[in-house]
Amino acid sequence: MKSGTKLLLTVILIASAAAGALAQNQPANVPRWAAIVRQTALRTHDRGPSGGPTGIFPPVIPAHLRNPDREGAVETYNPGGPTHTASNLFFQSIGTNGRACVTCHEPRSAWGVSTASIQQRFEQSGGTDPIFRLVDGATCDSDDVSTLEARRTAYSLLLSKGLIRIFLPLPDTQLGSSPPAPRDFEIASVTDPYGCTDLSSDPAMVSVYRRPLPSANLRFLTQCPENDPGCAPLAIMWDGREPSLANQAIDATMGHAQAPTAPTPQQVAQIVKFESGIYDAQVDDKWAGHLDREGGNGGPEFLSRQNFFIGINDSLSAGFNNVVFGLYDAWQNLAGSSGKAQARGSIARGEAIFNTRQFTITGVNGLNLTAADPAGPNPVNGFCTTCHDSPNVGNHSLKLALNIGVADPDPAGLDASGLPVFNVHCTAGPLNGQSFTVTDLGRALITGKCADVGKFKGPILRGLAARSPYFHNGTAASLEDVVNFYNQRFSIGLSDQEKADLAAFLNTL
Q: Is 238 in the site for ligand HEC (CB under 6 A)?
A: yes
Supply the minimum distance, in Å, between the C-beta of residue 368 and ligand HEC.
8
d(CA 508, CA 284): 8
Strand, helix or coil at 364? coil
Q: Is 416 in the site for ligand HEC (CB under 6 A)?
A: no
Q: Is 166 in the site for ligand HEC (CB under 6 A)?
A: yes
Q: Is 447 in the site for ligand HEC (CB under 6 A)?
A: no
Angle between helices 339-356 and 496-507 (to 10 degrees): 100
> What backbone torsions phi and psi does residue 412 show, to the nearest 5 degrees?
-50, 120
Q: Is 310 in the site for ligand HEC (CB under 6 A)?
A: no
Nearest residue (CB) to ligand HEC, 252 versus 343: 252
Q: Is 74 in the site for ligand HEC (CB under 6 A)?
A: no
Supply the minimum distance, in Å, between the C-beta of residue 386 and ligand HEC.
5
Strand, helix or coil at 64? strand
Site string for ligand HEC, 118-147 (x = CB under 6 A): ------------------x-----------
Query: What single letter denotes the amino acid at residue 299?
Result: G
With contacts defined by CB under 6 A, how many residues of the chain interact with ligand HEC?
52
Q: Is 99 in the site for ligand HEC (CB under 6 A)?
A: yes
Supply the minimum distance, in Å, between the C-beta of residue 118 and ligand HEC.
10
Supply the minimum distance, in Å, between the C-beta of residue 388 and ligand HEC.
6
Nearest residue (CB) to ligand HEC, 134 versus 249: 249
Query: What single letter denotes the amino acid at residue 362?
Result: T
d(CA 90, CA 85): 8
Question: By CB under 6 A, what part of segment 201-220 binds ligand HEC?
Answer: 210, 212-213, 215
Beta strands in 9-154 (DSSP E): 9-12, 60-61, 64-69, 72-77, 83-84
Nearest residue (CB) to ligand HEC, 174 versus 215: 215
The residues, ordered by sequence, that sit 6+ positions from 158 with a Cβ below 8 Å of its Cβ are: 118, 131, 132, 137, 138, 164
Q: Is 101 in the site for ligand HEC (CB under 6 A)?
A: yes
Nearest residue (CB) to ligand HEC, 104 versus 416: 104
Measured in whole angstroms, the distance separating CA 400 from the mean position of its chain's CA atoms is 15
Q: Is 482 in the site for ligand HEC (CB under 6 A)?
A: yes
d(CA 414, CA 480): 11
* From candidates 76, 103, 117, 258, binder to ligand HEC by CB under 6 A: 103
Select the span of 1-9, 96-104, 144-152, 223-231 touching ligand HEC (CB under 6 A): 96-104
- The CA-based angle 37-41-42, given to 5 degrees, is 120
Residue 82: cis peptide before it, omega within 30 degrees of 0: yes
Say if CB 469 and CB 477 are below 8 A apart: yes
CA distances from 411 to 161, 188, 219, 402 (A): 15, 21, 32, 15
Q: Is 61 in the site for ligand HEC (CB under 6 A)?
A: no
Supply the minimum distance, in Å, between the C-beta of residue 179 and ligand HEC.
29
Instruction: Give 357: exposed, middle or buried? Use CB within 10 Å, 0-12, 13-18, 19+.
Output: middle
d(CA 212, CA 237): 9
Site string for ligand HEC, 367-386 (x = CB under 6 A): x--------------x-x-x
The residues, ordered by sequence, that sit 6+ positions from 340 with a Cβ below 8 Å of its Cβ are: 287, 288, 289
Q: Is 302 in the site for ligand HEC (CB under 6 A)?
A: no
* From candidates 254, 348, 456, 465, binder to ligand HEC by CB under 6 A: 456
10 Å Cβ neighbour count for 64? 15
Site string for ligand HEC, 336-355 (x = CB under 6 A): ------------------x-
Nearest residue (CB) to ligand HEC, 184 versus 351: 351
Query: What residues line the site for ligand HEC (CB under 6 A)?
Result: 94, 99, 101, 103-105, 136, 164, 166, 210, 212-213, 215, 221, 236-239, 245, 248-249, 252-253, 256-257, 271, 275, 354, 361, 364, 367, 382, 384, 386-388, 402, 404, 406, 456, 458-459, 461, 464, 470-472, 482-483, 486, 502, 506
